[in-house]
Structures are given as structure tokens and as C-alpha cells.
Amino acid sequence: MTEIDEDDDITIHPDSANDPFYESLPVGERRLHDLIHWWFYLLRENADYEEYCEARRNGDVAACSKIKEDFPKVEEVFADFGDIHSPDLHTCGVASKGWQRWFAQRMHIFFPDQARLANPAYVAESPYRRNISIPANGRRSEIHELVETLVKALYAENEGQGKLSPRPLVESKYKINKGKVSTYLVYLEKAEFVNDLFLYNDANDGVPEEYRKYSAQQVERLILDIPEIHDIGFTWTRVPKSGGYQSSNNKKQIERLNKEFNQWIADSIHGLFPARVM
């Protein structure tokens, strides 16, 4: 393991810092941000999509064509998610400025075309959208008057042009089953934790990579021995009489979580994500 000298300068990109806008969102909105961030993460873990991003970045037409043969949806997914491996994209979690900017530019594919909170620093106006600034200490009557005046002006300005005239609600491309968001957030946190344990063992840096994996039994033991991990939501089967843990069922749960997590990574290049309505 490489030690870092305390005197070394470590440059942190400004986009890696947290964006206060995320914390200001209602809990329900934050959970939706969290879910889309998981989609982003799963797609980033897909090695074939990373290869496609690199081929697009380098203008390698032959490589792009080969990947499209194997994954017919990859071009469509790329049009929606873009080059999420770009060196210019700096993200350190759902609250980071880099990810919030990426997300704000794509809100229209994840959410229906309706009034909602958006980060004014990243969301540009369009013929169908106007950004407004509401003071946190403003009087309710003044805010109501402001919004009403704006809506009337926009409808009058665009009357007959079809820009802001009454029209059916446009559904989002990646429709979310909101009833499953909380369940999947807990599930994904558990599954990623198990997946990390299977893939990583820091006991000895000299151990060859192919041997640096925990068994299902070792993962179970680690989870049982660390109380904080129980907060993630693991539930273990106990033997009725003794009250002890039934390892066979517990190992099945661990192996299932790991298998399903890797399957979501594999499916992401096809545009398939947890809680997405197809």
C-alpha cells in the first residue's frame, strides 16, 4: 500500500465538493436522486459500456460497431447517459456538484415534464421551461402573485405557437416505480456491500488478485461480527430451538445478493435498472 506524505499536495476538483442544493431537497426528491445515482453507478461498473465510451471518445468506429452488435441498446443508452467515464466528469457521490450537474442536464429523461425543484446553476431555460428564483423568506402572497403573473405572461406570449399551450403531460423515458424506490435503495446498499466483500480483501496486499476474495461464509461472519452493518438491513435465519444462525440460508442470501448485483451491472448496458418501469 502506498503511503501518502502529509506534505504532498492533493488536488481535489471543485466538482467533487458537495452541492448544498441536494440537501435542500425534500426527502422524497433526494431518494429519487439517490436511485438515479445508483443507475449511474451500475452503468459505470459495466466494462462493456466503459469500452464503448472510450471508443466513442477516440472516434474508433470499428470498435463502436462491434460493441453495438453485441449490445444493440448501447447507442441509445449512450445518447441518454453520455460518456460517464469522461476525464472531464468529476463525481464523488450523489451530492457532488459534478454529478448534480450531470443529472440536472438529464432530468427530462427521468422525470415527467412537470413543475419541480431544479438546480438553477445547471438547468437551462427552454421554450417549455422557465427558471424562477423564490426568496426563502418571501411572503406567501407575493410568491403566489409572482408565479401567477409568470404563467399568465408565458401563456400569452406563446399563444398559438404551441410552445406553452395546454397539452398532455409528457411521460419520462425512464419511468420510475416510486413505490419501490425505498426498497431498492436498501437492497442496493446491501448488495453493493456484499459485492465489495467478495471482491476485496485487505488482509494481505501480497496475496494474488485471484485469491483475494471472501467466501460466502466469511462474508456472513463479518456481517454478524460488526453491529453497524446490521443497520443496512440484513435479516438472518435462526434455528428455532437454539436461536443460533442458520448458516446455509444466510449464505444463500449473501450469494443471491452478489449474483443479483452483478446482474444489474450487466443489464445496465441494455437500459435496464432497478425500479424502472418497462
| pLDDT tens figures, 76-101 | 999 999 999 988 887 778 888 888 88
Q: Is 142 exposed, middle or buried (0-12, 13-18, 19+ CB in 10 A)?
A: exposed
C-alpha closest to that of 44 among 192, 229, 211: 192
Bigger pLDDT: 244 or 267? Answer: 267
d(CA 51, CA 71): 12
Residue with cell 467478495: 198
CA 99 vs CA 16, 22, 30, 216: distances in Å? 8, 11, 13, 34
DSSP 8-class letter at 96: B
| pLDDT tens figures, 181-196 | 999 998 898 889 888 8
- Cell triple for residue 127? 421554450
Q: Is the dihedral of CA 41, 43, 45, 50 positive or negative?
A: negative
d(CA 23, CA 274): 24
CA 24 vs CA 82, 119, 135, 257: distances in Å? 27, 10, 14, 33
Residue 199 has pLDDT above 70, yes or no: yes
| pLDDT tens figures, 147-172 | 677 667 666 655 555 454 444 455 68
Q: Let me know the angle formed at the C-alpha of 64 by 59 and 67, rounded to the nearest 5 degrees.
A: 160
d(CA 206, CA 121): 47
Q: What share of the chain is helix, strand, coil (3-state, %, to 5)?
A: 55, 5, 45
What per-residue confidence (pLDDT) applies to 167?
A: 46
